[in-house]
Amino acid sequence: MARPAAGAGGTAGASDGRRFGVPARRATRASTVVRAAVNTLHLVVPISERVAPVPAGDASEVGEVLVGAEALQRRVRELADTISRDYAGRPLLLVGVLKGAVFFLSDLMRHIDIPVEVDFMAVASYGSATDSSGVVRILKDLDVAIEGRDVLIVEDIIDSGLTLQYLLRNLGSRDPASLEVCALLTKPDRRKVDLPARYVGFEIPDRFVIGYGLDYAERHRNLPFVAVLER
């Protein structure tokens, strides 16, 4: 299971990041992963619904779990507490980057206890299935103007950093009162540009991960944990 070591430093300006130690568990078989996930769910729905998260044909793509469902929820709550404190008295606008950040954002927002609004952007980053090129196109822009507002971009993962670099420049040019980044995951070893990410959930090794919003070819976003893509 995930083993964040408190205070072990962030990267790329992350003041709130957590680093994994050497992976402490052997590769987990997909069936074990599914069983473990099901075991953590509350017994409020029938079995047939509870085993839904991993469609049979996809289970072989689910590898080692890097961040378990409970660790995710605990960390999201901590981030929300910190954000609530930092922005006290300043109405906050969360900008979610579709689609991967939706799951993280909705859990995060539920635990923020100051006035907060949400808007979304959709961007396409050209590149291969697992590498972004840095050439970014806006597919859906914000619905609201952000001039003079406190804006927090919520992302699923910072990989090369190129997508966020583009978003920071683009949104920064609209004169927000402040503009910060909250990313659930970061892969510091993959970074191509230095980024000031103020809030980071977990640092992970250079592996392609799926679950909790993160996809591989649009699959696996519905997993309640973050796992390595098995291929």
Applying CB under 6 A, the residues found at the interface with ligand IMP are 100, 125, 132, 155-163, 208-209, 214-215
Nearer to ligand IMP, 16 or 156 (CB): 156
Whether 105 and 121 have beta carbons less than 8 Å apart is answered as no
In this structure, how many other beta carbons lie within 10 angstroms of the beta carbon of residue 40? 12
Specify the 3-state DSSP secondary structure of 113: coil
Q: Tell the smallest beta-carbon distance from residue 173 to ligand IMP (Å).
A: 19
Residue of 130, 87, 81 lying closest to 231 (CA atoms): 130
Q: Tell the smallest beta-carbon distance from residue 49 to ligand IMP (Å).
A: 26
Nearer to ligand IMP, 176 or 188 (CB): 188
Nearer to ligand IMP, 28 or 132 (CB): 132
| Structure token digits, residue 13 | 């300006």
Nearer to ligand IMP, 87 or 228 (CB): 228
Q: Is 49 exposed, middle or buried (0-12, 13-18, 19+ CB in 10 A)?
A: exposed
Catalytic (active-site) positions: 159
Q: Tell the smallest beta-carbon distance from residue 73 to ligand IMP (Å).
A: 20
In this structure, how many other beta carbons lie within 10 angstroms of the beta carbon of residue 51? 14
C-alpha distances in Å from residue 21, one per residue of 9, 72, 82, 163, 190: 12, 16, 24, 27, 18
Nearer to ligand IMP, 10 or 87 (CB): 10
Contacts of 50 (CB under 8 A, 6+ apart): 38, 41
Q: Tell the smallest beta-carbon distance from residue 163 to ligand IMP (Å).
A: 3
Whether 190 and 159 have beta carbons less than 8 Å apart is answered as yes
C-alpha distances in Å from residue 163, one per residue of 53, 74, 226: 28, 27, 21
Q: Tell the smallest beta-carbon distance from residue 17 to ligand IMP (Å).
A: 15
